[in-house]
Structure 1
């Protein structure tokens, strides 16, 4: 509540604090209150009240785009993600630009709003997009590629146009995951004319759109992207596997609400090469093992038991991947 009062008059911060309050109430299963707060937040801006006139309200879904876009309520904060120093600087700079957009535009300067996230699976691209939206106080929308990509000739490009039109009108973070499914290189053998037409349309849409918030595309397969895609984005942000320092920080945070009888940081070196998704599974399994053991503390044995399972899973996955490469 103190944060809410302190953010009075600063639109983005105000919305971010309200989103956090709503998320907290949802975690407590106070769903009636959460829904009421959500409805009130979405209606802000309908009446030109002086204190809230600058807050952007949610634009109703146009019927033609509702099947392709899903709203996702951010459930994580900046405390739940570990970023490299380089990426942290990038996001701080982007947030600063967004919050002072009018000031930049008065000087004839544009605001960076089209971002491409690249990196291996499990390195935090989707989580980062969600946290980024929460920090900005913008609603977070996920593009449903399974619905967007149509089996009918010509429809996919039309669906993309409708999605981009929504992003132009609605201040939000619009997130395309597995972007390579849409933006695959037109030079790859076997790609048919329909895909080429889709990529051509996508290039035009990205070039021309000036989103009210941010357009973020993420891919694990950047080597498959069409070469012309890269220069359409204002920034390309690379997500790498965490180093030992980042692993140690992640483990400390993962067990911050648990009583532990060991130092998880000592395993950081052994966990080099693990993604954040791998580390999350490892920590969750450790907690489960502790609970099932009836222990009041998480100890070294619980962690080592979960680690053996993680190593076995990674070994099997490597064998499967190796079979694909040689098959």
Structure 2
């Protein structure tokens, strides 16, 4: 947006703290894109400092700017990533995109010095149980970043204006230190505003969310995940630098996953031979089959997993799966 238009918006929003701050952040972002780091840092310090040495005016619908991590501590859970790339099976396109993002992050300062943007806002889409959360954890681990999972049950408030206020705390945190902020079930926040069943307060939350994503330039990554991509507001999509799809695994990926799950377990059969019978299953469903068959070995004090253990676990999963599908139809 042209500087003149931003200045008009800034003056017009004076007195309305949330709008004023959002426009000011846009101006700072423009200066950072132009590599005017000194000016951008100076503007940010002025924005975060109390005005004219007096206590800033508080409003019930606005979040006070508190130091990290206190401001968002009630709404996020800190996770020290334990999984690595050897614990996940991804499609070739997803591997390529995620590796590219890691390389960009490691060269982010050099990229910005050339006046180029760094991709840092990711949207993970796909049916449940296919690795979105695990991929976020592995991605954070590979970059040596702490993972913060947003607790939607605490973030979403029944009080007017508080959800947007809580959101701002989380986004301020994302701007403060290098980390990965992970929003699971993102459609609960970013549901389409055209849905007639939604009330005005949720529409206001979506409006605030779009502004926060727009002005965010995280030092790490913002990752949002959804199982219901069709429920997202259309304006959400262009706010993300990358959209990554997590589909149910194809046959070669099922085979690799089975080999991975039994790599440290002795078996009397070749688990990979069962790949075709598990085609069409999600990773979560396949994992349950594997773990249940291994537990059978432990319960019976044996040293190897038998083929019948696997077959019984698969039979149980098929039964569970058919019941779930019947309930959803």
TM-score tier (shorter): 0.7 to 0.9
Partner Cα separation in structure 1 for residue 290 and residue 235 of structure 2: 40
Q: Within 5 A, what are the aligned runs for 1:23-34?
A: none
Matched residues, number? 264
CA RMSD of aligned residues (A): 1.2
The equivalent residue for 2:82 is 75
How big is the shift at 1:63?
3.0
Q: Which has the larger radius of gyration?
A: 2
The equivalent residue for 1:23 is none
Partner Cα separation in structure 2 for residue 232 and residue 214 of structure 1: 13
SS at match of 2:71: coil
**Structure 2 unaligned blocks of 5 or more:** 1-65
Which of 297-306 and 122-131 deviates more? Answer: 297-306
Partner Cα separation in structure 2 for residue 77 and residue 260 of structure 1: 24
Aligned to 2:102, which of 74, 95, 100?
95
Aligned to 2:122, which of 115, 129, 141?
115
How big is the shift at 1:260?
1.0
Partner Cα separation in structure 1 for residue 67 and residue 77 of structure 2: 13
The alignment status of 1:254 with 2:261, answered yes or no, reads yes
* Moved segments of 4+, more than 4 Å: none
Partner Cα separation in structure 2 for residue 312 and residue 62 of structure 1: 45
How big is the shift at 1:62?
4.0
1:262–1:60 distance in 2 versus 1, CA, 3 Å: farther
The equivalent residue for 2:252 is 245
Query: Per-residue displacement from partner, 1:54-107 (whole Å, max 9, x unpaired)?
Result: xxxxx9634331101110121211000000000000011000000011111121
The equivalent residue for 2:55 is none
TM-score of the superposition, structure 1-length normalised? 0.79
The equivalent residue for 1:139 is 146
The equivalent residue for 1:285 is 292
Aligned to 2:185, which of 158, 161, 178?
178
Partner Cα separation in structure 2 for residue 212 and residue 225 of structure 1: 26
1:60–1:153 distance in 2 versus 1, CA, 3 Å: closer
Partner Cα separation in structure 1 for residue 69 and residue 96 of structure 2: 36
Aligned to 1:315, which of 314, 317, 322?
322
Partner Cα separation in structure 2 for residue 128 and residue 242 of structure 1: 14
SS at match of 2:223: strand
Q: Is the 8 A contact 2:79 2:147 kept in 1?
A: yes
TM-score of the superposition, structure 2-length normalised? 0.79
